[in-house]
């Protein structure tokens, strides 16, 4: 019977963990343990928050290890004592060094949310949405010292139709991977999956997201900005500055629709702001703000936001400023 230790932090790891728990309880393999990153400060109040995997474990009464660093002596000693056949890594958020990579009998397998070698790195889901890709997927890959550079054991694909939001897509990709995870590990152990090296000529990289990535440039097309809204939900959010009653406020768009604009208006101009619609001109086309977040408040329909304004916003041109620090 295979012995697996799982390391995961992000939301994509939760469906995988759920399925593995079910399979381990059915006696199909032994889940030795679960590791995640420690709780981190989040939000305006900087409250300590668990990772999605940590939150799931707490809600279900699961014992979980929280490693500040996987590569320190304590973490390695614990994992070495467990003697896993596999370390399964799903959106953990740390690179593994050689001693840890060499520890499991059959190696370390990572589930990566892209069609490798496209979009190695920290933000593959976001990049696929921003770029308007027609498809994405998950890869089961062998972990080595390089970032997402190991041979690919197995690939699962999913089509995209330019309606997906990053947070929902992340969970869907986790569900896609979950159905095949144990089968892939069993086939690797049996020697029937040996992996295919990635083509270096096809490699593209992604980077860790920054708040500034979500700042809207209204010179871009409505298509590009609407994709940003979907790609940067929930974080860092597609944001813009608006002057209200002499004060600049940073607003985050959470839902938007592309609309036509035949008016000779400059990008960033609010071309409609009434009880029904909030529309802003873009480099080409226009964007209807269906839902947004005002600092300190929950998401609200764009029309509700306008109803609460004490001034007429129509005709205003939005300030194109970089209002957050990278």
Evaluate if residue 72 carries a pLDDT over 60: yes
pLDDT at 104: 98
Residues 188 and 266 in one domain: no
Instruction: Give the H or E element holding residue 174.
Output: helix 166-178
pLDDT at 165: 98
Asked if 254 contacts 291 with a C-beta cutoff of 8 angstroms, the reply is yes
| Range with lowest mean pLDDT among 1-10, 44-53, 219-228 | 44-53
Q: Is residue 325 part of a domain?
A: no
Q: Is residue 21 part of a domain?
A: yes
Residues 194 and 259 in one domain: no
| Main-chain dihedrals φ then ψ at residue 82, nearest 5 degrees | -75, -25
Q: Is residue 317 part of a domain?
A: no
Residues 200 and 115 in one domain: yes
Residues 80 and 197 in one domain: yes
Q: What is the dihedral of CA 112, 118, 122, 125, to 10 degrees?
A: -80
| Range with lowest mean pLDDT among 20-24, 144-148, 276-280, 294-298 | 294-298
Indicate the residue among 206, 228, 246 that finishes a domain. 206
Pick from 87, 91, 109: nearest CA to 54: 91
Asked if 48 contacts 41 with a C-beta cutoff of 8 angstroms, the reply is yes
**pTM of the entire structure?**
0.94
CB atoms within 10 A of CB 58: 11
CATH value at residue 51:
3.40.50.170
CATH value at residue 256:
3.10.25.10
| Range with lowest mean pLDDT among 34-43, 134-143, 150-159, 207-216 | 34-43
Evaluate if residue 71 carries a pLDDT over 90: no
**Residue pLDDT, tens place only, 240-262:** 999 887 788 999 999 999 999 98
Q: Is residue 113 part of a domain?
A: yes
Residues 253 and 175 in one domain: no
Measure the CA–CA gap between 32 and 14, rounded to whole angstroms: 17
Judging by beta carbons within 10 Å of its beta carbon (0-12, 13-18, 19+), is residue 296 exposed, middle or buried?
exposed
**In terms of residue numbers, what domain contains 299?**
211-307
Residues 154 and 233 in one domain: no
Residues 152 and 287 in one domain: no
Tokens 């035949």, located at residue: 262
Name the band, by pLDDT with cuts 50, 70 and 90, for residue 46.
confident
Evaluate if residue 159 carries a pLDDT over 80: yes
Asked if 64 contacts 57 with a C-beta cutoff of 8 angstroms, the reply is yes
pLDDT at 321: 42
DSSP for residue 268: T
Tokens 């500040």, located at residue: 68
Name the band, by pLDDT with cuts 50, 70 and 90, for residue 133.
very high
pLDDT at 320: 45
Residues 191 and 237 in one domain: no
pLDDT at 198: 98
**Residue pLDDT, tens place only, 195-219:** 999 999 999 999 999 999 999 999 9
Q: Is residue 320 part of a domain?
A: no
Instruction: Give the H or E element holding residue 20.
Output: helix 13-25
Indicate the residue among 190, 206, 222 that finishes a domain. 206
Residues 19 and 118 in one domain: yes
Evaluate if residue 325 carries a pLDDT over 70: no
pLDDT at 319: 59
Indicate the residue among 206, 235, 265 that finishes a domain. 206
Residues 197 and 70 in one domain: yes
Residues 27 and 161 in one domain: yes
Domain count, the chain: 2
Tokens 């295979």, located at residue: 2
Residues 175 and 42 in one domain: yes
């Amino acid at each position: 019977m295979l012995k697996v230790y799982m390391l995961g932090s992000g939301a994509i790891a939760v469906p995988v963990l759920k399925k593995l728990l079910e399979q381990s309880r059915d006696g199909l393999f032994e889940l030795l343990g679960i590791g995640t990153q420690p709780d981190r400060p989040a939000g305006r109040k900087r409250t300590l928050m668990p990772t999605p995997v940590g939150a799931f474990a707490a809600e279900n009464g699961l014992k979980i290890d929280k490693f500040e660093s996987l590569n320190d002596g304590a973490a390695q000693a614990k994992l070495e004592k467990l003697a896993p056949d596999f370390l399964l890594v799903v959106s953990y958020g740390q690179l593994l060094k050689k001693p840890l990579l060499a520890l499991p009998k059959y190696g370390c397998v990572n589930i990566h949310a892209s069609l490798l070698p496209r979009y190695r790195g920290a933000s593959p889901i976001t990049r696929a949405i921003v770029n308007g890709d027609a498809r994405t997927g998950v890869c089961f890959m062998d972990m080595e010292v390089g970032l997402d550079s190991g041979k690919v054991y197995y690939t699962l694909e999913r089509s995209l139709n330019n309606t997906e939001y990053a947070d929902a897509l992340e969970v869907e990709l986790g569900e896609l991977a979950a159905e095949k995870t144990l089968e892939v590990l069993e086939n690797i152990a049996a020697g029937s999956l040996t992996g295919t090296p990635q083509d270096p000529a096809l490699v593209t990289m992604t980077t860790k997201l920054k708040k500034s990535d979500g700042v809207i440039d209204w010179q871009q097309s409505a298509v590009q900005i609407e994709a940003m809204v979907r790609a940067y939900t929930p974080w860092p959010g597609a944001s813009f500055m608006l002057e209200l009653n002499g004060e600049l406020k940073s607003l985050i768009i959470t839902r938007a629709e592309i609309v036509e604009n035949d008016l000779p208006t400059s990008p960033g101009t609010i071309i409609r702001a009434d009880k029904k619609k909030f529309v802003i001109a873009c480099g080409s086309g226009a964007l209807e703000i269906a839902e947004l977040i005002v600092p300190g408040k929950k998401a609200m329909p764009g029309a509700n936001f306008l109803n609460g304004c004490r001034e007429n916003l129509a005709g205003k041109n939005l300030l194109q400023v970089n209002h957050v620090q990278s």
